[in-house]
C-alpha cells in the first residue's frame, strides 16, 4: 500500500522542481520592468517619426555621427527599418534605449565622435566595433575590434541571462555566446 501524498517526504526531484519554479519567478519579476521601457521607447519613436520637431531632433542627432555609425543610430532611435535592413540590427543583445539613456547589458553606454564609453571606460569608435555592437551578423571587423568587443561583452555581461555573470549564457544563436 502506498503512503498518501501529503505524508511523503520530498524527493530530490520535487525539491529541484520547486527551486526551478522559484528561479523562473525571480527571472520573470526581474524582467517585468522591461515592458515599461518598451512603452516609453515606442512613445519616443512615435514622437520622433510623427512630429516635425521630432524628425528634426533625430536628424540632428544622427548627423553628428560618422557615416558608419549614423545608420545604426537612425535605426535605434526611429525604429524604422528598410526592408533590406530589417534583420540586420541585433535587437536581443544590442544596445537598448531606455528612459535613463542607452544601455548595453547592465552598463550605460555613451558615444562621441571618437569613442564609445561603457560605464566611463573609453573604447575607440571604429566601423568594426560598431558592427560588432549593433549588428546581428557583423562581417567587417579586425582582431583589434574583436578584442575590444570581447572586453565589452565581459564588462557588460550582455551575454548572460539577466546580465548576471553567475547565471547561464544566453544561447540564441548570437555571436556573443561564442565570444566568452
Residue spans of the chain under pLDDT 50? 30-42, 83-84, 176-177
Parse the chain into domains and list their residue ranges: 31-179
Please give the pLDDT value at position 122: 92
C-alpha cell at 112: 562621441
Per cent of the chain over pLDDT 90 is: 6
Say what the pLDDT of residue 144 is.
93
**Could you tell me which residues are beta bridge partners of residue 108?**
103
Check residue 34 and give its pLDDT. Answer: 42
Distance CA 108, CA 148 (A): 17
Residues 36-61: tens digit of each pLDDT: 434 444 455 555 566 777 777 777 76
Inter-CA distances, 133 with 2, 50, 60, 73, 110, Å: 59, 28, 22, 12, 13
Please report the pLDDT score of residue 160 as a whole number.
64
Residue count of the chain = 180
Amino acid at each position: 500500500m502506498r503512503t498518501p501524498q501529503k505524508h511523503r517526504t520530498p524527493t530530490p526531484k520535487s525539491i529541484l522542481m520547486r527551486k526551478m519554479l522559484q528561479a523562473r519567478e525571480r527571472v520573470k519579476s526581474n524582467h517585468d520592468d522591461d515592458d515599461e521601457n518598451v512603452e516609453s521607447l515606442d512613445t519616443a519613436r512615435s514622437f520622433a517619426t510623427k512630429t516635425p520637431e521630432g524628425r528634426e531632433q533625430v536628424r540632428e542627432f544622427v548627423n553628428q555621427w560618422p557615416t558608419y555609425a549614423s545608420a545604426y543610430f537612425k535605426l535605434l532611435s526611429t525604429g524604422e527599418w528598410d526592408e533590406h535592413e530589417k534583420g540586420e540590427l541585433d535587437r536581443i543583445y544590442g544596445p537598448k534605449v531606455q528612459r535613463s539613456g542607452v544601455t548595453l547589458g547592465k552598463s550605460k553606454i555613451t558615444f562621441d565622435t571618437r569613442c564609445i564609453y561603457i560605464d566611463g571606460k573609453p573604447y575607440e569608435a571604429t566601423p568594426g566595433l560598431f558592427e560588432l555592437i549593433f549588428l546581428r551578423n557583423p562581417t567587417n571587423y579586425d582582431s583589434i575590434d574583436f578584442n575590444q568587443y570581447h572586453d565589452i561583452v565581459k564588462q557588460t555581461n550582455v551575454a548572460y541571462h539577466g546580465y548576471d555573470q553567475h547565471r547561464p549564457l544566453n544561447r540564441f544563436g548570437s555571436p556573443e555566446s561564442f565570444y566568452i
